[in-house]
Amino acid sequence: MKYRSTRGSPKLLSFSEAVLVGLAEDGGLFIPENMPSLPENWSKAWSDLTYKSLALEIFSLYIPREEISREELKQLIDKSYSTFTFNDITPLKQIRENLYILELFHGPTFAFKDVALQFLGNLFEYLLEKKNKEKKEEENITVLGATSGDTGSAAIYGLRGKKNISVFILHPRGKVSPVQEAQMTTVLDKNIHNLAVEGTFDDCQDIVKNLFADRSFNEKYHLGAINSINWARILAQIVYYFYSYFQLLSSLNITIESKESKEIYLQYCVPTGNFGDILAGYYAKKMGLPISKLVVSTNSNDILDRFFKNGRYERSKGGNGVTVIETLSPAMDIAISSNFERLLWYLVYENIGKKEEEERNEEEKVKETSSIIREWMQNVKVNKSLVVEKSVLDISLRDFISERVSDQETLDTIKKYYAPENENQISYILDPHTAVGVAAADRQNISPNTYQICLATAHPAKFSQAVEKALENFKEFKFENILPKEFIGLLERERKVVFVEGAEPSLVKQVIENELDNE
């Protein structure tokens, strides 16, 4: 298995190279050269596996054994998920008829990013140690990332104290929740560096991409990516789609070989901003998981919803000229979804194959697809927009539907599920991001044999402002009752953070150079 760039770089990389490099040299994102085939009897063989064992089977489809042996991969997986509080890692809970919550927040930072970043942190350490042993020299890696909140803390907790790895996380100053900020900045390990940038998450993300594109800087400091542009992030997230499918069948007392298992429809509702979490579901569907639809659930920063509604992928501008609207679900306050490029590649590739022209071989189709993506991404960079032809949009709608959810609808949904009027519902406290997904799920007109699984991306205690605002009229609700012990006193701890006064790559470069050159 090799990995190619979405933008056509002729150089194919191994899994290890793609993970360590993060971003292709032409600015593209890595995708697998081929979609792996599932084992012939995968549904029966995998149905009773633990989460860790299932991860081993799925990872092994993408990671050649000559790069990481099966035993070493198992050790990495065991180590990564030993930090979770549930043996199931991602438990599935029913909250009303035909609607389930997939809790992805039982890792060390109480957010879904832990599922991928606990693994990626250990993977970085393993690959770097192996590389240094082969070269017989000490090479360091500088992990660089931007965060709208949860990626930063999850990356920091996954990489703190790792040998030969320095970590620089950029976040938009004042635009993450107090808990998210404290989780990042109270980690005082020597190899961890937090940068609070005056600007938006998209500004931070643009700076990261700019520094990766700076070849001399990249080569000098050996940059590595932890954002979901890194393929290993997507790979790790594929697992919980399969695992939740098996959990659902088990909860319904349906055996994998029964007639009933073939008659259910599965719909995943995914709150998303950067398109990484839901992209993992797309890969699971392409691999063969029987998903009927993936519901793209956005807040008021709705670039993705607008694409699936009209085929236009473009930044919006509010009345004050800003491109990002601050909402109650800040991790989704994103103007450009960096992972969307991967989906566009597959849509274009399939569209080319459907055109009634002379037959082209695989190499020609891949080359033409990458050429189109390269041109489209340039349009997004320069003109902040692109418009796809109807045939491309139609292909996307076979797998996706989308919904836009306002802040008021988010609050109403939190309230609705805390105090359900229907006796078939249970009381459940949603964080604002998960509430966006649940609100989108509630809008769908589903059949009795359709089951919805909404991805719960964070513990509600991480977003006290939204939860307390939604539940302020419920006298019995006490926020401290849902507060994990790890959060007690968190906001008062000592912090380590560098303030960057403008969203300029040169200012961030200066901070990194000062920190690393003085070590």
Q: Could you list the active site residues? A: 113
Pick the CATH number of 94-105+232-337+398-466 from 3.40.50.1100, 1.20.1440.230, 3.30.1380.10, 3.40.50.2000: 3.40.50.1100
Report whether pLDDT(53) > 50. Answer: yes
Q: Residue 359 in 3-state DSSP?
A: coil
* Predicted confidence band of residue 519 (pLDDT cuts 50, 70, 90): low
Encode pLDDT of 189-217 as tens digits.
999 999 999 999 999 999 999 999 999 99
| Mean per-residue pLDDT, 454-477 | 95
Encode pLDDT of 88-100 as tens digits.
999 999 999 999 9
pTM of the predicted model as reported, rounded to 2 decimal places = 0.94
Q: Which residue has the higher pLDDT, 151 or 137?
A: 151
Encode pLDDT of 144-188 as tens digits.
999 988 899 999 999 999 999 999 999 999 999 999 999 999 999
Cα dist from 125 to 84, 121, 158, 360, 486, whole Å: 19, 6, 10, 42, 26
Q: What is the pLDDT of residue 361?
A: 87
* Predicted confidence band of residue 356 (pLDDT cuts 50, 70, 90): low
Closest listed residue to residue 403, CA positions, set 305, 293, 283, 325: 305
* Predicted confidence band of residue 323 (pLDDT cuts 50, 70, 90): confident
Which long-range CB contacts under 8 A does 179-183 form with residues at least 24 apart? 179/461, 179/462, 179/463, 179/464, 179/487, 179/490, 179/491, 180/149, 180/150, 180/152, 180/153, 180/330, 180/331, 180/462, 182/490, 182/491, 182/493, 182/495, 183/109, 183/152, 183/153, 183/156, 183/157, 183/490
Encode pLDDT of 59-68 as tens digits.
999 999 999 9
| Mean per-residue pLDDT, 281-298 | 97
Report whether pLDDT(359) > 80. Answer: no
Report whether pLDDT(30) > 80. Answer: yes
Cα dist from 488 to 160, 179, 194, 428, 484, whole Å: 21, 10, 22, 22, 7
In this structure, which amino acid lies at residue 466? A
Closest listed residue to residue 53, CA positions, set 89, 86, 84: 89
* Predicted confidence band of residue 139 (pLDDT cuts 50, 70, 90): confident
| Mean per-residue pLDDT, 292-316 | 95
Q: How far is CA 408 from the centre of its chain?
A: 25
Encode pLDDT of 366-423 as tens digits.
999 999 999 999 999 898 889 999 999 999 999 999 999 999 999 999 999 999 887 7
| Mean per-residue pLDDT, 238-248 | 98
Cα dist from 127 to 11, 15, 140, 157, whole Å: 20, 10, 11, 18
Backbone angles phi, psi at 126, to 5 degrees: -65, -50
Q: What is the pLDDT of residue 412?
A: 98
In percent, the amount of the chain with pLDDT more than 90 equals: 88
Encode pLDDT of 4-24 as tens digits.
999 999 999 999 999 999 999
Closest listed residue to residue 441, CA positions, set 431, 424, 457, 455: 455
* Predicted confidence band of residue 239 (pLDDT cuts 50, 70, 90): very high
Q: Decide if 420 contacts 404 (C-beta within 8 A).
A: no
Q: What is the pLDDT of residue 86?
A: 92
Closest listed residue to residue 371, CA positions, set 347, 339, 345, 402: 345
Write out the two tokens for 519.
């070590």
- The overall average pLDDT reported for the chain is 94
Cα dist from 369 to 5, 278, 308, 382, whole Å: 11, 22, 20, 20
Binning the chain into helix, strand and coil, the percentages to the nearest 5 are 50, 15, 35
Q: What is the pLDDT of residue 20?
A: 93
Q: What is the pLDDT of residue 358?
A: 63
Q: Decide if 57 contacts 49 (C-beta within 8 A).
A: yes
* Predicted confidence band of residue 274 (pLDDT cuts 50, 70, 90): very high
Q: What is the pLDDT of residue 203?
A: 93
Report whether pLDDT(268) > 50. Answer: yes
| Mean per-residue pLDDT, 63-85 | 97
* Predicted confidence band of residue 319 (pLDDT cuts 50, 70, 90): very low
- Rounded to whole angstroms, how far apart are CA atoms 471 and 416? 10
In the chain, domain spans: 94-105+232-337+398-466
Dihedral angle over CA of 179, 184, 187, 191, nearest 10: 180
Encode pLDDT of 412-431 as tens digits.
999 999 998 877 789 999 99
- Rounded to whole angstroms, how far apart are CA atoms 168 and 352? 40
| Mean per-residue pLDDT, 233-243 | 98
| DSSP symbol at 111 | B
